Structure 1
Amino acid sequence: METHWHFFFDCKFSNQFWQSVLEWCGIRRKPYSAANEWKWVFKHLKGGGLREAICRTALCATVNELWRKRNARIFTGNYRSRNQVLWTIINEVQIRFMDLQISAHDNQRNREASTRIQATVKFKPPTVKTCKWEPPDEDNIMLNTDGRLTKERGSYAGILRQRDGSVVMAYHGGSKTTYIGAIEIEAIQKGLEVALELKIKNIHVRTDSMEVVNCILGICTPTWRTKAMVNSINVKIGTMEGFNIKHTFRESNKAADWPLTQQVVNHPFFWNSETRLLFYRDASDMLELEDRENDSDILKALENVVPTALGGNWDPTMEATFISNIGRCRRYKFDSMRDLLRAIRNKLNHYIELPKEIQEILRPVPDGFNGYFAGRFPRFLIEVYKICYKFCKEEEWFIKYFNNSVL
């Protein structure tokens, strides 16, 4: 028995014809199969907008006219050209809207739709909606993500911020996929990876793609291109203590647009190991001078971030041999940010003079040496950077670290 599943989408003529109807409705889309197309229809034509209403009416008119054309061809031998059938459908749609009292939001999409149906539409003036960045709950980090697709390439970016708006980390990267939905999901996947590396356990995620939100929440099924990434995201969510994801307006998601520009390149997250170690040395040298002053604001600020940067004393995470070695020349306070910086600087400056077993612990300079401390204190660099940015960004020997900073 012949059904609409065959003649409407799986028939080559009807498939191409439906594509022409969609183009008249303002939608450029190539149908592939009956199952795929009906899923798309039920998903995208259910809205209350004027274009969706026109598309639904055009769908009904198309099914009706193609069936009439098929019956006329089989039973009477009467053939109508493709253009004749198309104009019949367009005329049918326009008649259906002719005497209706239509009101719609005043935007370009609805004005184009009203021109197609040649109907009188009462346009409602646009409402102004104030959008601003939404801070996370107490003890949570906000992750704003975004994706971009151009003719040349796809790219994604994200930025993690604390409740007061200060930047924890920013990242960006290129994407091989040509599907914007997959790029948006990739941005979230990378952001959660960064968060876990920083030992962040409570996070709020905001994206301007409702489709992505629904995929991650399990409201809709991910495509074959995004299924693996969504599964990976769910695994990461399972390791966190608190997770929240919501849709946000693009205008309030500008924080995620910023890292897509060149400005993010100078963020310390993208520094190589050599630059990171040079920064530690310069910061430690500066703090040694500050130590001569009483009640130094920068030292107070630095020591206040110990819980965030170190999680407590720093000596338990290191080998006893290394702790014994650094204590030979001077005493260190193991709950001090300044003293950890001093230890890094001293071992870096005297690396060649260190015993072989200590060199093996710290590993080669710069990558191994930096990795030793970065692996134990993933938040240490960014917290020192934020303090130095606040107090020293105008000083000559720090300017090179802060040009085009995202902080």
Structure 2
Amino acid sequence: MSGGKFSSPAKIMFHVNVVVVILLTRGIAVGCVQYLIKDGGSTLLWSDPWLPGGPLGGHGVLLAEALGRDTFDCVKKLFHNGDIWENVTADLAIEARWAEVVNTKIHSRLPEDMAVWTPTANGAFSLRTAWDVVRIPGAKLPWCDLVWFPSSQLCFSFITWLACLRKLTTRCLLAQWGLVVDTACVLCQDGTDSLDHLLFRCSFSAGVWREVLHLNGFNRGPLGTWDEEVRWLVKHFIGCSIYSRVRRFSFTASVYKLWQERNARIFMNKCNSAASVLQCVLSDTRGVFVNFTKPIPDDAVNRAFFSGWGFDVSFVHPKASFHVWTPPPRGWVVLNCDDSVRQDRGGYGVIGRDHRGCPIFAVAGGARDVSIVHMELQAIKAALLHAKSHNLSHVQVRSDSMMAIQMIVGSFHISWSVRWLIEDIWRLRDSFSNCSFAHQVRETNGCADYLVSLVDSPMEISLCIDSLPLALSTFIQNDAGGKRYLRM
């Protein structure tokens, strides 16, 4: 270092280190790209990552024309008659990974080979997912959702985040660093400017916080320390409801406005009353949620909460509706499908019934490490396969997964990871004289839901129609008899 600038050797080493770091992420990036093969015409055989184990021409594989390996060979080289894998050159490097090759799905309905970014569902690259891939994540802190949430304001959450990390530069913290001598609280003049005092033992901040808690339905004063306050808030303010969003926003707004008032007094010699700070908190909170349009269930608790905040919301009475299992027309068969994913296993259930509601087949299956939509599509595929094996020609598939049905009929974007399942379902659909897909409410899918619970391992079982479990037989009889199921 000389004169505050890098010397020439230091500059060189700095740039070398930057290049090294960038190159280290290349391997990670390659592992996040996968090629979906249509005909192999635009995918490089040796260097593109079209196999699950990575590029075929990895370490130790020599690319040389004398060995019949050209850098620009395409995957199409392994195609025979357009859709059959064949190692025509008997290449040992290819033979060593032949199991991967033959298990690679051919996506015949794609317009061309497609490169997908695997960390996203739609296969499109994003900086956010790229960062998630290369960073080393730490354990999620208990108060994370208290600070960062939908509708949060960045500056409010940032200051609250610093407070939760105990990184706010209070006078007491600066004194520990030897930077200041006066540690008096500028809000109340009766304590030290520490995190625990500022939030919320200070009489100034305590008055603001007490009113905010009251509006959120809690009649208590501040707790002993900031850490105790945060632990209490994690238990009472985190959730998915509009309540929790209002409460969390008002909390972060309180922290920010109190810190802002403290800084204004220190650095600008400006003072506001506690009532003025409170009004700022209330105004900011109301401003964010003033246009909330989702109807709120009408009860005394909801009315008191939203009235206290001054929110003009629409209240509705919960409506109940009744649904029945509808039999298909004569000559058709309904295929009811359902799935379940618990921890590290998934399961699916399928039942086929005719126009009288009588079962034709019932199947239960399981798998490991799968998503909900994957399992639902697996159930639909299994239903069509069994319908095909029973020589059925007119079928209607019913599922309580709206996303799965919309993917199949083309009204929802298909995730790259389940495209092969969708294409399998399309091929099966085209093999029937008539095949349709419909969404149904969960309450009328009791038979398939029951079948899901029968298998807890990667296998499939077909139940004997003449000796079905009593619970399943009861579901079938109720459906056929037109039982009305209540949906709230």
Structure 2 length-normalised TM: 0.37
Instruction: Tell me which protein shows more helix as a share of its residues.
Output: 1
Structure 1 length-normalised TM: 0.43
